Amino acid sequence: MIDQINRTVTLKTTPKRIISLVPSQTELLVDLGLEDFIVGITKFCIHPKHLKKSKTIVGGTKNIKIDIIKELKPDIILCNKEENTKEIVQECEKIAPTHVSDIFSLEDTKELIKQYGTIFNKKNEALSLLNKLNFEIGSFSSFIKDKDYKKVAYFIWRKPWMVSGNNNFINHLLTLNKFSNIYVNKDRYPEVDITKIQEEGNPDLILLSSEPYPFKEQHAFEIQEHIQHAKILFVDGEMFSWYGSRLLKAFDYFKQLHNRI
């Protein structure tokens, strides 16, 4: 098996003891029928909600407890290039075969679902999930085709103010929504000066994500001081940044979001 950063992952048998270091991938495993095989997750793996009560917490996405991971004797460890550091992947490789995902688009997500279907002998479940996802994408494409493009700024952090730029999954989903990211000329997750937001793009919409920073009304007022006509909306960050099976819910959410505009 070649993972999504072109590493060879060698598996002698179907893994039965899984550690997931990525919240959205943990949810995907459950929806593929693999909950009973998950032995370790991060403290951020909050879907489904009951999982943290029954599985061992092995740390966060950026700070893992390597001794606990060793004690769990995993057959495979699942990582992501953005969520986990290179050092974490290297440490995990010393313990068990380690698969790394790298997600920038819906096609990358579909490929990951296929790979998990193969790795865990869940090809039928993966195909079913992909069929549902393709239906949701098709339905949303019909919904969005006559919508006008709107200029947006998608905020993910405060102090410093940070936004979604180009070259990430959030920007891909913004594009699918006909949201033209005013910071698309900046890479990844840049810091920005909100006092210059009008001259840097003058967006129609300001989207304040629910994660990783918990934006509140007072933060909207801070931004409002520097724009004239833009509408500010609080949005569910999981719908814009979680890939895998979360996308089955995302496109209905996007339809509701457009109806709020």
- Here the CATH number for the domain that contains residue 152 is 3.40.50.1980
Residue 145, pLDDT above cutoff 90:
yes
92/74 Cα distance (integer angstroms): 10
When pLDDT is averaged across residues 78-98 and rounded to a whole number, the result is 98
Domain-embedded: residue 130: yes
Residue 152, pLDDT above cutoff 90:
yes
Average pLDDT of every residue of the chain: 97
127/117 Cα distance (integer angstroms): 8
When pLDDT is averaged across residues 77-105 and rounded to a whole number, the result is 98
Q: Which domain holds residue 92?
A: 18-137
> Full-prediction pTM beyond 0.75?
yes
Could you give the angle at the alpha carbon of 226 between the alpha carbons of 221 and 227, nearest 5°? 95
Domain-embedded: residue 4: no
| Residue 256 CA from chain centroid, whole number | 20
Residue 63, pLDDT above cutoff 90:
yes
Domain-embedded: residue 200: yes
Residue from 174, 167, 242 nearest 207 by CA: 174
What's the half-sphere exposure (Cβ side, CA atoms, 13 Å) at 185? 4
Are 172 and 203 within one domain?
yes
Are 66 and 84 within one domain?
yes
pLDDT of residue 52: 93
Residue 228, pLDDT above cutoff 90:
no
Residue from 31, 12, 4, 1 nearest 246 by CA: 31
Answer with the one of 137, 171, 204 that is the final residue of a domain: 137
Are 130 and 151 within one domain?
no
